[in-house]
Amino acid sequence: MTVFEHPEFDHHRQVVFGSDEASGLRAIIAIHDTHRGPALGGLRIFPYASDAEALTDVLRLSRGMSYKSALADLPLGGGKAVIIADPRSDKTPALLRAMGRLVDSLGGAYITAEDSGSSEADMQVIAEVTDHVGGLRHHGGESGDPSPFTAWGVFCALKSAVRHGLGRDDLAGLRVAVQGVGHVGAHLARHLKDAGAELVLTDVDRQALAHLAETLGAEAVAPEAIFDAEVDLFAPCAMGAALTADVVERLRARVVCGAANNQLASPGIADRLMERGILYTPDYVANAGGVIEIAWQRRGDAYRREDVMAHIERIGDTLDEIFARANREQRSPARVADDLARERFGRG
């Protein structure tokens, strides 16, 4: 397993491997960039098949956080952490505290938060041993779950994408396919419904799908059928790599905008979407609402919900700039966003 020559290494500032025999901790923390501030990024707990697989994931995700924070105009860099473990069976308070001590040893260069496999409750345990934790329950008792904020950001992104891709300002009657109605997808579907959109929903969780479809008066389809739905906009809100070469050829939508991380199965997919006349909304710009909220939480008493929402709404302005530049330069918005982010964290 190589680190410095790894294809995803991209000049990471620091990669820390940590282990703790007593609790069974095996973890990696990757800090990609800290020019804009400390590296904030979630803690993923996953039973990776190998150390190499864990390293690839943490490097890729950490790098992504630098781009996300830069384009969300946050005073934060990019980082991420992974624990090689099964969150259902291996997650113990001792393991989480050992992880907390590893985070603490970096003196604040890395700030951890929830991600897949880790919860708000886990962050509370980690916070017993380090101050460098985001995504905790608010002082007033409000949940630290970032997904409502992420969904609101995706909704703002979607309005910008609809303006640029379809030349219209309102969403009334717009047909939208939402893939994945979990935390973010369900909130997004409700915002869309309130704005008058017609929804086609899918999820592998048939019960959750049926329940939401009924509540919102939406059409429910099988997971594989969502790609062929007769819609104006496709919103990937499930897992990464939804946009494969095959899917891009099948899509009827003229605009793609969703919450999922790493939607493009490979970078070249962005160009193919453009060739097909489909406007792609760079995922890490659209889904930054959660990290924006966590960044505001770090300001303690200066936290005001109106300021957080106003900051999240600026996602729409950033996308207006990206789409306009993409149009001028006849390049994919994905490539324009990457360039703009690198300019902002000083690697342009």
- Which residues are near ligand NAD by CB under 6 A? 146-147, 150, 179-185, 202-205, 208, 223, 237-240, 259-261, 287, 290
Nearest residue (CB) to ligand NAD, 1 versus 225: 225
Contact 178, 189 (CB under 8 A): yes
Q: How far is the CB of 2 from ligand NAD (least distance, A)?
A: 27
Task: Please tell me the distance from the alpha carbon of residue 42 to that of residue 133, in angstroms, as a whole number.
Answer: 9
Which is the catalytic residue, given 80, 91, 159, 193?
Answer: 80
Q: How far is the CB of 282 from ligand NAD (least distance, A)?
A: 13
Tokens of 303: 């936290």
Task: Please tell me the distance from the alpha carbon of residue 269 to that of residue 280, in angstroms, as a whole number.
Answer: 10
Nearest residue (CB) to ligand NAD, 14 versus 119: 119
Q: How far is the CB of 219 from ligand NAD (least distance, A)?
A: 15
Contact 337, 322 (CB under 8 A): yes
Nearest residue (CB) to ligand NAD, 235 versus 255: 235
Nearest residue (CB) to ligand NAD, 97 versus 293: 293
Tokens of 259: 């919450």
Tokens of 318: 């950033």
List Cβ neighbours of 153 (8 Å cut-off, separation of 6 or more): 286, 287, 288, 289, 290, 292, 312, 315
Q: How far is the CB of 34 from ligand NAD (least distance, A)?
A: 21
Shortest-Cβ-distance residue relative to ligand NAD: 182
Has 80 been annotated as catalytic? yes
Q: How far is the CB of 261 from ligand NAD (least distance, A)?
A: 4
Nearest residue (CB) to ligand NAD, 151 versus 255: 151
Task: Please tell me the distance from the alpha carbon of residue 296 to that of residue 73, in angstroms, as a whole number.
Answer: 12
List Cβ neighbours of 112 (8 Å cut-off, separation of 6 or more): 41, 42, 43, 81, 99, 103, 123, 126, 130, 132, 133, 134
Nearest residue (CB) to ligand NAD, 29 versus 260: 260
Task: Please tell me the distance from the alpha carbon of residue 33 to that of residue 35, in angstroms, as a whole number.
Answer: 6
List Cβ neighbours of 208 (8 Å cut-off, separation of 6 or more): 181, 182, 186
Q: How far is the CB of 344 from ligand NAD (least distance, A)?
A: 19
In order of 55, 98, 150, 153, 201, the CA distances from 292 in angstroms are 26, 27, 9, 9, 27
Tokens of 319: 């996308």
* Catalytic residue positions, numbered: 80
